[in-house]
Amino acid sequence: MADSAHIWANDILARCDELASLSESPSELTRTFLTLEHARANELVAGWMVAAGMTPQLDGAGNIVGRYDGTVPDAPALMLASHLDTVRNAGKYDGMLGVVTAIACIDRLNRDGLRLTCPIEVIGFVNEEGTRFGATLTGSRAVAGTFNIADLEARDASGVTMRDAYTAFGLDPDKVASAAHTDKDIAAYMELHIEQGPVLERENLAVGIVTAISGATRMRVELLGLAGHAGTVPMGQRRDALAGAAEIIAYVEKRCSGTPGLVGTVGWIEASPGAVNVVPGGCAFSLDIRAETDRVRTAAVENITAEIAQICARRGLALTFVPLHDAPSSLCSENLMLELENACAHEGFPTMRLPSGAGHDAMALAAICEIGMLFIRCTKGISHNPAEAVLAEDVEAGARVLYHFIREFNYAR
Ligand SMILES: [Zn+2]
């Protein structure tokens, strides 16, 4: 449509390149939490916010927050955000694309002299990835009021605590929680992000609308059989823990196939004693099960753990489950999904609904407001990798859809 025919993609991609130059390592993109490069990324983004007519501020958690006032005083804000930290040897778009595109949309509003009734807050969150200290979602949890103070004692690889890193960064670690908003401050949360998976590419779509951020159950499974001589113990008399694990892994793959939104992965395994001529007496492996709905995930976990118990009983293996992580799914708001669908239709981009198997800052915000996410196709679904790539035309599509969504947003609907 004429009102949004402005070409956004080149500016947005140039800014993603500029952010990618702020790296702890000269040969790759690595920008972790509370580093000098993180401070520089905040400064760069703050400058773009000012140029777009926003007032930027560093909050107590280290997030950069830009505010674009609305016309109704004290109305709750539309929050547009993603993260500015990266994994090690990262791509240029995971997180950054959402922040930069949101700023481009506000810039467009500002140049057209437009304001919503409600204010808009654009946030570049810190530490979504957890690369440096392990703890994840620090910035978004602080904003949602669910920051875990115990995370301050987490240490990086050189033994520095998050608490000391905050002090070195120039922030008071005891004031991280001051970043908290309440449900009265926020009308809705919207995050644009690359898909990090191959579904949109397969469906030949530039943009997709997220239905939910999948919940996840993660555990360590330990099997104990009996080690023995690989030449002398007959097949029928073995208690081979690794062979038991193999049967379990095949079951996990079968059980998680064919149910939309359900995925199951054994990504790590270790056998002991680990010798070519010894029947493996011990085996430990990880199990990661995710699904769009908690009902589907819980049913899969129940079936899989029951099957593991049966396989172990039949094979004479002792079994231990060590729970590692259990997070419910975060549902996206039906209203926001419909509004995004309207925006896609208005801009002429076909779309689909799909769940997000990866975690996002939106999960944290779900605690205090309705959330929505717009996915942008990424090449071959590759992410957390320097090969991460997007098409300029897809970035253009995402920006136009987000802009239209913002223009139509009504906090009092
Ligand atoms: Zn991300």
Q: What parts of the chain have a pLDDT lower than 70?
A: 1-7
Ligand 1 centroid vs 324 CA: distance in angstroms?
22
The residue among 327, 350, 368 that closes a domain is 327
Q: Is 133 in the same domain as 276? A: no
CA distance 63 to 95: 13
Residue 2's pLDDT is 41
Q: How many separate domains does the chain show? A: 2
pTM: 0.91
Q: Is 52 in the same domain as 82? A: yes
Half-sphere exposure of 300 (CA within 13 A, CB side): 30
Q: Where are the beta strands (DSSP E) in 225-370?
A: 228-229, 263-265, 269-272, 278-279, 282-291, 318-327, 330-331, 353-356
Q: Is 106 in the same domain as 189? A: yes
The answer as to whether 340 is a domain residue is yes
Ligand 1 centroid vs 215 CA: distance in angstroms?
16
Ligand 1 centroid vs 140 CA: distance in angstroms?
12
CA distance 13 to 43: 18
Collect all residues with Cβ–Cβ distance below 8 Å to 84 and sequence separation of at least 6.
Answer: 19, 31, 38, 41, 42, 45, 64, 95, 96, 99, 124, 125, 126
Whether 143 contacts 180, CB under 8 Å: yes
Instruction: Dump pLDDT digits (tens) for 30-87.
Output: 999 999 999 999 999 999 999 999 999 999 999 999 999 999 989 999 999 999 999 9
Ligand 1 centroid vs 249 CA: distance in angstroms?
29
Exposed e or buried b per residue across 26-49, where buried means at least 16 C-beta atoms within 10 angstroms of its C-beta: eeebbbbbbbebbbebbebbbebb
Ligand 1 centroid vs 84 CA: distance in angstroms?
9
Q: Is 71 in the same domain as 199? A: yes
The residue to which tokens 């570049």 are assigned: 124
Mean model confidence pLDDT for the chain: 96
Ligand 1 centroid vs 27 CA: distance in angstroms?
21
Q: Is 381 in the same domain as 258? A: no
Ligand 1 centroid vs 35 CA: distance in angstroms?
18
The answer as to whether 413 is a domain residue is no
Ligand 1 centroid vs 102 CA: distance in angstroms?
15
Residue 413's pLDDT is 79
DSSP conformational letter for 12: H
Write out the H or E segment, with its range, that includes residue 66.
Answer: strand 64-68
Instruction: Residue 255: give the domain boundaries.
Output: 215-327
Ligand 1 centroid vs 16 CA: distance in angstroms?
14
